[in-house]
Structures are given as structure tokens and as C-alpha cells.
Structure 1
């Protein structure tokens, strides 16, 4: 096959992932056709432009702990063999390692069905995630093949204690943050003056919620199971193409449902007022998936694992407080209003400490 031309197009991306240095669509043209690749460049966290945002006393620990090659390591582990029917990995065509700092992954390009996710799509995805969790419960033989990540025994607790409690919660207790004209206007438009106190109340409960989560049954999971990482291919809406694996340590049963619920809402692609309807559909579907893998679970424990993890990981971090340091636009205000609504739903869903 003779390649006649190559097109390279950068892919827009909300730069939230520390290891992701760039994304491109690369099309190789040849006589009679062409082939598209999705190219992802991973980088060592020491090269992350936002490294200065990590307090200096925690920076070295952060650099040592972050498993920046985890996406590639999961592929090499043979995770595809563990996925239930209805889930698959994209094909990895080529890997290029550059020193010890970069890894370029040349994946199959997936044509995504661009129609909005219906509640039934969320339910089917939850069912598949339940089956995946059931197969990967702590002690299951399949986990022996999975990569060992860094030195963190409990990645959820590590994330919450460092990212949420140390870096986000202090801002919630700063009255000047809530008095900023942009945030004050967003709260006024939503008519939710009690949100600051309710968020601070949740922050006070987070340590006890983490303790309760630690006591729940644990499974390995996807770890970042938003719809953006469980692609619906245009060729078959019943399939999910799994990308961008997250936390690599055992997680509370039900964990993946949190990001499944809020991923699109956080991206501004789903109205927060739809979350209650989706919530009612995904928990029973997840429990059905567990049952089909002969995993007997207490629905109360699964519910706490789901909403408790979501509360600890996401409920206090949904407000884009970085906008308060910029010259705001009307679009910024619209975003903040939407995130205030999302935060209210998450805070209201958060469990009591026990």
C-alpha cells in the first residue's frame, strides 16, 4: 500500500487531563482510499503546564504518584479480554516512545454517533459497567493481569484529600469568593442563596463519607466512566468503545455511576434537570449487570458507593472558580449559572456521613 498524502488535524480538547499533551486526527491517503487514526500524545507530569498549581510541598509526591502511561498500560494488560459483550477497546495500531517523557498512541479512529444520549443509552452503559465491576471484584483472577499503578493504595481517597480538601475546600470557606460579582450574579439568577452553606456542610462530611466508602465492597472499575470515555459508534448504538481508563486501584462498588451521570452535564452537553431521571435508570441497570456476573450486592451499599464517591470527588469541584480571576464574559456567566445548577443537584444527592 502506497501512501500518497497525510492530513493532520488537531482535535479540540478541554485540557483537564494532566498526561494528555495533544490529540490529532491523522488521515493517511493511499490509492483507492484512506485510513484515519486518532493520535494521542501522553507526557510525563513534570511537563504539565499546570504543575505550578500543585502546592510545592506536594509536588514531588504528585509527580511520583501519577500513572501517566496508564492508558497504554491498560491496553498492554489485555483488558479487552475482560470486557463484557457490548464493550470493546479501540485498536492500537502503533506506539512511539520519545525518551522517558512522551508516548504517542496511534489508535483506531472511531466514528461516533452524534445524536444525544437518551436515558436508555445511560441505562445500557450502566448495565455494562455493572458487569465489568462484577468481573473485576477484588480477588478476581482477571485482576492479576492488570497494571500496578504507582504507590497509592487508595486513589480515590488520595484524590479527594489532596485535590478537594486541600485545594478546593479552602476557597469555599473564603467569603470573598462568594461575594465576587460573577458568582454572586450566578447565585442570584438561580435563586439559590443557600448553596455556599450547603457546600461547606458537605465539605465537613467528606472525611466521614470517605471512611464509609472505604468500608464498602471494592472492585476495580473504569475509573472515569463519563459518556465521553464510553463512545457510542455510529455503526452500532448497542456498543461502547472504552477509552481513557481512570483510577487504577480498587474503588467502592458503584463508583463508575457517578461520572456516567455527570460527565455530559459537566461538559455543558446535558441539562442538570435531567440528572434525576437518569439517576433513577442507571442504578437498577448497574445492579442487573452485577447480578448477571453472579455478584450479589446490597443495593443500599451500591447506592452509597455511587453517590458518596460522586459527592467526594465531584460535588465540590464543579464550579469553575478559575473564571473569577479573568475578565468575565456573558458566556462565562452562562457557564457558571449552569454549574451552579449542577452543583445543587450533586449536593442534594450527597449522602449523610453514614
Structure 2
């Protein structure tokens, strides 16, 4: 990720406007001499995110304004691409849908959002050339207080309503069902299953006392094709794709329960798959203790069922708990432990927390994957 100085050197307000006037993009007058950019820190990992910026300034009357600017990029610009095996990198460059976050403002998304969910106000999508776009949108002023079980349940309720609405035939995708998860699963042998079979890795002092966890992960690996096969039998719709609490902002102005951001994995998936990131997203980021996850899981599963019950979705083949736990296992169970950090003398607390997270995920798999 670019540092603050590098990012602000690379981008300027005029450079992000594609020749348009700033006032035209924002929809209000601006003092052209009182504008600037600052970098918004984020966890580096999304290949399509080139930079996050906040533009700010004053109107001629002295009132301040801000806007959020996200630069999306083709994955050929992603610095980490060079570390992928060449055959995987080539496939990744060819198929990764780097513009899919823009579907947040498509009518097939916005028209299916239930009351209580809304996207940020979009000012403009600016084509920057060289397979980059700048998304100018509302700089959401959101609550940063800790999530309680009630908020988790409300988020799950609304995701249930959203998922049900996007199960209908008018919601389409250019990809076949479970395409995104199939691509994810294809990466697991190198990203996760290889280290799992390495005696040297599991002989590290931070892992040596967890032979039982390693054995359970190895026993769970054969479940991967079984889960994918079961997914194929369940009712599908378009999910949010990364419905972690970090992507469900609680606006201070009360304009919605949540402002939805960062759609991803926009391929048909079973109802309930969105819940895995909702449950573990904060714990994975180190912002929620793992011991809270059982109560969060219960609140989320109950809330999602309540959301589905309030829709006109007809009876069909779905198993919310299976879709949740299966997606959780495949997406996070084998990758939660950051093996690449084992050599870092300061990574002990992180690795111990991720070990606990992995145990929770395996417990959910035992409970729901039957």
C-alpha cells in the first residue's frame, strides 16, 4: 500500500476528476483554493483497491465539505501479484472482476435494498484511464461504538431481507453459481493446505502445542468438495459478498440502520453465506474477542431467519446454518492462522487469537455441517 506521502504525491484533486469541475462533481459550489487530499488508512489486501482518499475543503460561504474517493484498479496493478505462482497470477488477472464494487449503485442492487439499508450517496464515477477509476461518494459519518448482539441481529435481519430479494429471476449475474467460491477453493492448496501439511511450520513454538487443531484441520480438508457439492443444491441469490461489520456503517444522522459499502464475490451463492463474514469479521480484524463469537453467531442466525420470514420468498431448498458454516470453513477456517507471520517476534498475540478463531470456526463446522 502506498504511504501517505506517496499516495498524495500520486493523486491530486484535478487528477481524480477526469477533466470535470469539482463543483460539478460534488453538486455544490467550492472554494477552489481551499481543497486538499488525505490518505485513509486501510488493511491492505483487496487487489482492486488502489488507494482510499478523503477530499476536503470549503464552500465559498466558509462551510466545510468532505468526500470519500476510492481508486479502483485492474489487478495487474496490484503489487502483490508478483508473489503469486505465475499460472495462478495469469488466471487471476484474467478473471478478477475489479470493477464489481460499482454494482453497489446498479439498480439491481439499489432496487432490492430493504428499508434500513442504503449505499453511500454517489457523486460520480470517473474513468482515469489505464484501467483505473475514481469513485467519488459520500464521506459517511458513522458510529464507531462496539457492536452488541442486538446490532448483529439487526444487520443479519436486513441481510436476510436483502438476500431474499436477490433470489428472484430479475437479478442476474454473468457468472455461474458459486463461481467466486470455486476460485477461492482452488487457491487453498497453496495458500493454506500446504502449510498445514508442513511439519516444520507446525513445529514452531506458537503452534507445537496445537497438534489437535492441526489434526482437525487436516480432517476437515476433505470436506471442501462435499461442501461445494451441497452448496449446489441450495437456493442461490446474489450476496453482499463481504458483509463484515466494517462494511456495514452505522450513520450518525439516522438516515438508515446501515450504509452498505464494498460489495464483492458478486456471483450467485446460497442464502446464508453472507453471515460468515458478519460473525467473524471483527474478530479477524482483532476488534472483537473470540469468546464473544458464540453469542454473536446465535444472534446472527436468529436475525437472518427473522429477516427471511418477513419476505415473500416461497418455500425452497435452503439451509441457512449449513451455508453459513460451510462458507465460514472454506473462506476462513483454513486461512485464519497467518503462517507468514510466524517469524515475527511481535506476532504472538495475533497468532494465539487466530488459533482461538480457528477453533471457533471448526466448532461451527461440527455443529452445522451434517
Global fold match (TM > 0.5): yes
Contact 1:225 1:259 in 2 (8 A): yes
- Structure 1: segments with no counterpart, 5+ residues: none
Compute the displacement of 1:275 (Å).
Answer: 0.6
Compute the displacement of 1:94 (Å).
Answer: 2.2
Distance 1:229 1:130 in 2: 16
Compute the displacement of 1:165 (Å).
Answer: 3.3
Structure 2 residue aligned with 1:22: 51
Distance 1:281 1:53 in 2: 39
Identify which of 65, 83, 97 aligns with 2:95.
65
- Check 1:205–1:226 CA distance in 2 against 1; reply closer, same or farther (3 A cut): same
- Structure 2: segments with no counterpart, 5+ residues: 1-28
Compute the displacement of 1:244 (Å).
Answer: 0.4
RMSD between aligned alpha carbons? 2.0
Identify which of 321, 330, 334 aligns with 1:316.
334
Compute the displacement of 1:37 (Å).
Answer: 0.8
Structure 1 residue aligned with 2:155: 125
Structure 2 residue aligned with 1:277: 295
Q: 1:97 and 2:127 equivalent?
A: yes
Distance 1:295 1:73 in 2: 23
- Check 1:299–1:337 CA distance in 2 against 1; reply closer, same or farther (3 A cut): farther
Deviation track 1:161-212 (CA, whole Å, cap 9, x = no partner) reads 222234311111111111123444xxx4xxx441111111111211111111
Identify which of 304, 307, 313 aligns with 1:289.
307
Distance 1:199 1:32 in 2: 59
Distance 2:323 2:268 in 1: 12
Q: 1:110 and 2:143 equivalent?
A: no
Compute the displacement of 1:350 (Å).
Answer: 1.0
Contact 2:118 2:256 in 1 (8 A): no
Structure 1 residue aligned with 2:221: 203
Q: 1:212 and 2:216 equivalent?
A: no
After superposition, where does 1:1-354 map in structure 2 within 5 Å? 1-3=29-31, 4-30=33-59, 31-77=61-107, 79-137=109-167, 139-141=168-170, 143-144=171-172, 148-149=173-174, 153-184=177-208, 188=209, 192-236=210-254, 239-296=257-314, 301-324=319-342, 326=343, 328-330=344-346, 332-351=347-366, 354=370
- Check 1:173–1:113 CA distance in 2 against 1; reply closer, same or farther (3 A cut): same
Distance 2:369 2:295 in 1: 24
Deviation track 1:239-280 (CA, whole Å, cap 9, x = no partner) reads 110000011111011111111000000000001111100111
Contact 2:235 2:318 in 1 (8 A): no
Distance 1:60 1:298 in 2: 39
Distance 2:300 2:315 in 1: 15
Greater relative CO, 1 or 2 (CA 8 Å, sep 6+): 1
Distance 1:236 1:273 in 2: 30
Contact 2:115 2:256 in 1 (8 A): no
Contact 2:191 2:335 in 1 (8 A): no
- With normalisation by structure 2, the TM-score equals 0.86
Distance 2:107 2:189 in 1: 33
Distance 2:169 2:176 in 1: 20
Aligned-partner SS, 2:79: coil
Runs of 4+ in 1 over 4 A off after TM superposition: 296-300, 351-354
- Check 1:206–1:16 CA distance in 2 against 1; reply closer, same or farther (3 A cut): same
Deviation track 1:16-70 (CA, whole Å, cap 9, x = no partner) reads 1110011111112123211111111111101111112322122222111110011
Compute the displacement of 1:312 (Å).
Answer: 1.2
Deviation track 1:217-254 (CA, whole Å, cap 9, x = no partner) reads 11111011000111111223961100000111110111
- Check 1:353–1:26 CA distance in 2 against 1; reply closer, same or farther (3 A cut): same
- Of residues 163-172 and 107-116 in structure 1, the stretch that sits farther from structure 2 once superposed is 163-172
Deviation track 1:279-336 (CA, whole Å, cap 9, x = no partner) reads 1111121111112112255797111011111111111111111113x4x233x11111
Paired residues, number: 339
Distance 1:126 1:298 in 2: 20
